[in-house]
Amino acid sequence: MSETASISASIAARYATAVFELSRDGGGLPALEADIEALDGALKDSAEFRALISSPVYSREEQSRAVAALAPGLGLSATTANALQLMAGKRRLFVLPQMVSALRDMIAEAKGEVTADVTAAQALTKAQADKLVKTLSASVGKTVKLNMAVDESLIGGLVVKVGSKMIDTSIRSKLAQLQNAMKEVG
């Protein structure tokens, strides 16, 4: 990890810990979870929002006013809105994506959940996703939430990542293994 990324992750972790503890102590974890989803959606859907938090062109005051205007529209809790105001005042909004990720992990830990990143060659049906969740839950001993992605280059099968474990059953990887085996023979 580069030094800049490490510093950003450290800053994000401090803000995430503070927001999480304030929300947990006030019984606001469900509201915090809704806030995280709203912020994540805004980060994914709005290039203007991403520019606002990362561009040095905007002053502290401009960022603060923008955050104050956006918070009610996103339906953010007072704790999250105040944290964003503080971050804007300290020119730390650039760590928002890392903070959202850290908060998501903290909430999942508190709920006894784990997230599985699943990449499939085509979208899974509801029945297939439910069966995968059931199988993974039995394997890891926790409630599993799926984070789905589609990558047609896999040809078929799945790539599942849960924590530090990865299971690759894709046809692409099987073809690569077969190709390597043929190189060793010839």
For residue range 102-121, what is the model confidence (pLDDT) as tens digits? 999 899 889 989 989 999 99
Residues 124, 170 share a domain: yes
Q: How far apart are CA 60 and CA 173, in angstroms?
A: 48
Residues 91, 59 share a domain: yes
Residues 80, 154 share a domain: no
Q: How far apart are CA 159 and CA 124, in angstroms?
A: 13
Residues 71, 105 share a domain: yes
Quick one: which of 111, 97, 70, 81 has its CA closest to 11?
A: 97
Residues 57, 75 share a domain: yes
Residues 86, 15 share a domain: yes
DSSP code of residue 151: -
Structural domain total, the chain: 2
pLDDT band at residue 185 using 50, 70 and 90 as cut-offs: confident
Residues 126, 83 share a domain: no
Task: Give tens-digit pLDDT for 21-66.
Answer: 999 998 899 999 999 999 999 999 999 999 999 999 999 999 999 9
Prediction pTM value: 0.73
Residues 178, 164 share a domain: yes
Last residue of a domain, one of 61, 84, 109: 109
Last residue of a domain, one of 47, 74, 109: 109
Of residues 134 and 3, more confidence is placed in: 134
Residues 98, 33 share a domain: yes
CATH of the domain at 92: 1.10.520.20
Domain housing 143: 113-185
Residues 138, 105 share a domain: no
Record the tokens describing residue 104, joined without a space: 């998501």
Residues 132, 159 share a domain: yes
Cβ pair 12, 98 in contact under 8 A: yes
